[in-house]
Amino acid sequence: MHKSVPNNSLKTACSTCNLRKLCLPVNLSNIEMARLDDLITRKGVYRHGSILYRSGDKFQALYAIRTGFFKTQILNEDGREQVTGFQMAGEIIGMDGISSDTHTCDAVALEDCEICEIPFNRLEDLGRELPPLQRHLHRILSREIVRDQNIMLLLGSMRAEERLAAFLLNLSQRFAVRGYSPTSFQLRMTRQEIGSYLGLKLETVSRALSHLQENKLINVRNRSLEILCLPGLQACIGKRAR
C-alpha cells in the first residue's frame, strides 16, 4: 500500500513543510538548514477558493505549499483566462513576481491548503552565504521555465485526447513522487479548469475523458480518477501528430 504521508518524521518548520523537498538536493548542514528554517514562516490555512496572491499584488515572497492544491491563472485585458498550472504539496509558487516586483497571475486554493512563506529578499541574502542554496533556487526557477515550455509543446502540437493523456500522466507521476498512488487519485479541479489549462472547452474535456474510459484506459466518475493502463495512456500521446 501507499502511505498517506511521504516523509516519516522530520521536525523543523521547514522539514515538516514539504520544504524538505525544496532543500533535498542541497547539501546543507543542520545549522545551515536551521537558518533556512528561520526564514520560513507558516501562514495559516487557506480555505478552498481563497486567494494567496492576485495579479498586481506586490511581490514579496515565494510560497511553499505544505498541503493542498492550488491553481495559477492569468487574466487578459479582454477577460480571457488561462490556467497556467496546478501546484501540489511540496511545490513552490510565486516566481512570476520576481521580474517586476509584481505578481502577474492569481494563485487560488482548490482545497484547504497550508502554506509556508519565504520572504524573497531574505532568501537572496541567505543564498549569497550558502552557494548550494543559491544554486538550488536557480534550479527551481529554471525548472519552471522547462515546465512551461513543455506545456507550450502540448498546447502547440497535441490533439485533445493527447493533451488529456499527458495531463493525467503528469498528475500521476507527481502523486507517485509524493508517495501516493499513481493510478488512483482525486481531481481537485473542475472540467472547466482542466480545459483552460489544456486549451480546450469543458465539453471537449468531458468527451475526451469518456472516450479514454470507453477504451478501458481509465475509470472516471466525477472527480475520482483511476488509471487502468499507464502504458496505454502513454501510447495515446504521439499516435498521430497534429
Partner DNA sequence: CGAGGCCTTGAGTGTCCTCAAGTCGCGTGG
Partner DNA sequence: CCACGCGACTTGAGGACACTCAAGGCCTCG
For a second copy, the binding residues (CB under 8 A) are 74, 76-82, 84, 95-100, 104-105, 124, 127-129, 131, 134-135, 137-146, 148-153, 155-158, 196-199, 237-238, 241
157 binds, among a second copy, DNA, none (CB under 5 to 8 A by kind): a second copy
User: Residue 19 is placed in which grid cell?
Assistant: 520544504
Which helix (H) or strand (E) covers residue 50, if one does? none
Regarding 35 and contact with DNA (CB under 7 A), the answer is no
Q: How far is the CB of 162 from DNA (least distance, A)?
A: 8
> What's the CA angle centered on 170, arms 167 and 172, to 5 degrees?
110
Q: How far is the CB of 161 from DNA (least distance, A)?
A: 6
Rounded Cα gap, residues 213 and 207, in angstroms: 10
Binding-site member from 43, 75, 207, 230 for DNA (CB under 7 A):
207
Regarding 210 and contact with DNA (CB under 7 A), the answer is yes
Q: How far is the CB of 156 from DNA (least distance, A)?
A: 9
Regarding 242 and contact with DNA (CB under 7 A), the answer is yes
12-46 burial: b if 16+ Cβ within 10 Å, else e: bbbbbbbbbbbbeebebeeebbebbbebbeeeeeb
Give the x-and-dash track for 36-55 against DNA (CB under 7 A).
--------------------
User: Residue 223 is placed in which grid cell?
Assistant: 472527480
Pick the closer one to a second copy by CB: 44 or 156: 156
223 binds, among a second copy, DNA, none (CB under 5 to 8 A by kind): DNA
Considering only residues 123 to 182 of the shown chain, the ones binding DNA according to CB under 7 A are 159-161
Rounded Cα gap, residues 113 and 156, in angstroms: 32
Q: How many residues bind DNA (CB under 7 A)?
A: 24
**What is the DSSP code string of 47-116?**
PTT-EEE-TTSBP-EEEEEEESEEEEEEE-TTS-EEEEEEEETT-EE-GGGTTTTB--SEEEESS-EEEE
User: Residue 82 is placed in which grid cell?
Assistant: 488561462
Contacts to DNA by CB under 7 A: 159-161, 187, 190-192, 199-207, 209-210, 220-223, 241-242
